[in-house]
Chains A and B, each alone.
Chain A
């Protein structure tokens, strides 16, 4: 049960990363590898500030802001210096590795004795359920573990609602159009370059927010924690699309969150059954590969049918 709750919480926290990847990959059609660096940056900034005794809310917000800055740098490299989007992301990700080590001062910052959003949440749970443990459908679980998934879900759904609202504003609609048809939105007077910079800042802000929360939940920030996370995000987005059909903005956002949680749960179960943790990234990559290739392959194998006009 604790294993499942842990997977559920991490799945929810990482769904913020998946939402960030959704923005860069689906809205702007740009696989943005900055993600691997900015999730660590968010964790590093937040962890270092927490150790210094900064308020957890403020530390988390500053972590997210750091990621947004990294995303904006990628956007500037791509739009102002005309560097290929993929390469711009690789450059920033590589640079961030050093930045993260500088921010943390070492390769790992433990948060065991530090007051974090997670420890606040656990305390809130204890006062809510009036005791250190609570009986949940027959299982006795720590109150903190029972409260955190709810809190995480509330927070993630709140973020998704804000994103949903934003992408329906004039600015948000123009940003979606930038990814859909840049020539058209430029002819309608929107600054495409600025939209891309803003979009990548938003995407990496979400990713870093996810990193900041992840560090607080798992109790440490680590220089290596970002490796392969963009592929993780892609997997979540793809699962979400398969589940909801990606027909509308709201469904896509909801699907991405569900996809992230589901993927994390599947991984937790697979690990439990004895999957070698070393194979995890390989399997994630293979999964994304299959998800990208199979639809086209199936389409090609199907007999051609004439679609009436």
Chain B
């Protein structure tokens, strides 16, 4: 009887085998996306015509390609891309890069919107104090833009964690692949395994977007920032 898994064993099996890769894909993907997205947003807001054009072109390109295709390209499509890694680690690195490059295109939009929604009077007041434009950005604009971006960023987290499921396509054992492995071995448990997978994704998205999204929105209102 021990051989037939029930809900709890499936649940914990998937968490044990799949969750680490899912969290790693999500965290590193978001991190790459953050650095890239912020850079692109700065290019668009302060970078003048050429840099702005470049950043906006990048966004359009990356937003127009399905994430599974990006994952395939960066995992297998570019030989020698991760030459310094063990061959078995290369698809994982490719997935992280693909998720990060794409998230960057979306996070750029988030930060651009956040920077632009900081009241222009804030920059003026900082300049009038004698700060350079860079200092004004660092100490006045960026801290406010970062706060303003939290609700949208928590949304982006939900997008990336769900899109990380495409990594199963290149053989990464994350949550989706774990669930599909069980479903493959115990065909009568197909529906249950997929149900557990769905529940796990939900547990890792909804509470977090709710907490970060709604709490931050309330906090911002208290500070009189964003949306009046």
The finding on whether chains A and B are genuine partners in a shared complex, rather than unrelated, reads: no
